[in-house]
Amino acid sequence: MRAALPSGTLEIEPRTEELPRVDPKLTRAFCRRGRREDKGYLPRWRRDATDFGPARRPRFPAGCHNPRMSNADTGGDDTRIGLAELAQMKRDSRPIVMVTAYDHPSARLADEAGVDIVFTGDSAANNVLGYADTTPIGMDEMVMLSAAARRGTHRAFFMADLPLGAFQVSDEDAVRNALRLVKEAGAEAVKIEGAGPMVSRARAIVGAGIPLMGHIGLTPQSVTMLGGYKAQGRTAAKARQLFADALALQAAGCFAIVLEAVPDRVAMRITEALRIPTIGIGAGAQCDGQVLVWHDLLGINEGFAPKFVKRFAGVAEETRRGLKSFAAEVRARTYPADEHTYHMTDAEYALFEAEIAPGVLVADDWL
Ligand code: KIV
């Protein structure tokens, strides 16, 4: 589960207060720009940020890894999915599969399963660190968890989240902390939540050469402002704001945008309008890709789950079964069995017995 959710379901009444209206001049400007893009026109600054050219999967010479990022587990496919391939997947209508992972073995399993994007989200806060929601997690924790997950990926595109407090204050903070995730954790891209003033952060991060994914709709870092874990964009005015936010993040240079807990038709119209991929979580089937939280999709989290969560495995149940069997066998002395046990020859054992016979071993020998 993404966070300790309030009782009830995600289907809570939409809020009644209006968000600020989108400036109609801005909307018209986006529409004009959209038409020019249909004819292949892109201003140079936007081309640089998000036009990655034909899909290429960069090949690295075998064994050519950043030693700080690598470990003994670097064998196998050294061809990574890159930004160009993700952009091409949208053009080809090939769904992008993204999953969160917060440690090395999980990331390795996701990579081996052929997931396209492995992502250390700030949902690590509630899924692995035991916080009630995502707000307390800090940069040091994110760097440590992301670096571990990054070492488990060899083929998947790897990204990490900027947590609350790491980018809201200033563009400088945003760039500094995004660079930490790139340099210290090996992230190939980062993600921030929000639009409005965060569009300037997006521009700054992309301007520093760091690929950025946006995230709008239900943004758990601002859960209090949103009035709880509720679906977003359920009125025409709020849907229009989401639409404008998505366009603004694209214009700022984001290479993709997460749409969380958004009505399917709103997500579909945003997906159609954007040149960059949308990744849905509770945003319907028409997004260019889907993301789920590791602990939700594998059934490690039990109990209440938001409407959009589907459990594809029952890992908690299987884990409990394994732990109960271990405890039962230890208590019955049936584990460890002979095949789990190291042996020594009778001759060596006889010598050992002689060495520890009373009067042979003196206290000094071990003090
Ligand atoms: O932190 C997270 O897990 C996320 C994903 C749901 C995209 O933001």
What does the DSSP 8-state code read for residue 79?
B
DSSP β-bridge partners for residue 259: 216, 280
Query: 107, 117, 199, 92: which is closest to 146 by C-alpha?
Result: 107
Most ligand 1 atoms within 8 A of CB, residue of 98, 116, 123 to mutate: 123
* Beta carbon of 291 within 6 Å of any ligand 1 atom: yes
Residues of the chain with pLDDT under 70: 1-78, 362-367
* Beta carbon of 121 within 6 Å of any ligand 1 atom: yes
Sign of CA dihedral 331, 333, 334, 339: positive
pLDDT for position 56: 41
C-beta of residue 185 within 8 angstroms of C-beta of residue 147:
yes
Cα of 192 from ligand 1 centre, angstroms = 10
pLDDT for position 354: 94
What does the DSSP 8-state code read for residue 340?
G
* Beta carbon of 223 within 6 Å of any ligand 1 atom: no
* Beta carbon of 100 within 6 Å of any ligand 1 atom: yes
* Beta carbon of 161 within 6 Å of any ligand 1 atom: yes
Atom of ligand 1 nearest to the CA of 193: 8
Cα of 134 from ligand 1 centre, angstroms = 10
Clarify whether 355 is annotated catalytic: no
The DSSP line for 200-238 is HHHHHHHHTT--EEEEEES-GGGHHHHTSS-----SHHH
Q: Which helix (H) or strand (E) holds 180?
A: helix 171-183
What is the rounded distance in angstroms from the CA atom of residue 201 to the CA atom of residue 162? 11
Atom of ligand 1 nearest to the CA of 293: 3
Q: What are the pLDDT digits (tens) for 291-310?
A: 999 999 999 999 899 999 99
Domain regions of the chain by residue span: 24-316, 319-365
Q: Can you give the pTM of this predicted structure?
A: 0.80
Cα of 279 from ligand 1 centre, angstroms = 11
> How big is the chain by its Cα radius of gyration, in Å?
25
Q: Does domain 24-316 have CATH number 3.40.1160.10?
A: no
Burial-class residue 278 by CB neighbours within 10 Å (0-12, 13-18, 19+). buried
